[in-house]
Amino acid sequence: MNPAAAKDLSFLFDKDGFFINSEQWDIALAQRIANSEGIGEMDDLQQELLLTLRDEFHKFGAVTALSHFVT
């Protein structure tokens, strides 16, 4: 099943709201999640931030505090 095409995205998350299978994640799915959460269309800056945070998590196993990204 293509998760980006599914209507109900709840199967993607565990009971605590964490993504179950990171291999399914892509920017199209991130946009679907943003839409389902009422955020709407992400702009280029938002997408770049997501990709940067994702890369950081894969490199270090954690993400820098958001206060380092957002002022």
- The pLDDT of residue 6 is 54
Name the β-bridge partners of 13. Answer: 19
The count of other CB atoms within 10 Å of the CB of residue 18 is 9
Q: Does position 18 have pLDDT exceeding 60, yes or no?
A: yes
Average pLDDT, integer, range 34-56: 91
Cβ neighbours around 15 below 10 Å, total = 5
Average pLDDT of 58-70?
A: 76
48: its two tokens: 């770049």
For 40-49, the pLDDT digits (tens) are: 999 999 999 8
Mean pLDDT of 31-51: 92
Which stretch of DSSP H or E encloses residue 56? helix 44-60
Cα 5 vs. chain centroid, distance in angstroms?
15
pTM: 0.69
Torsion of CA 45, 50, 23, 4, to 10 degrees: -60
Residue 58 has pLDDT above 80, yes or no: yes
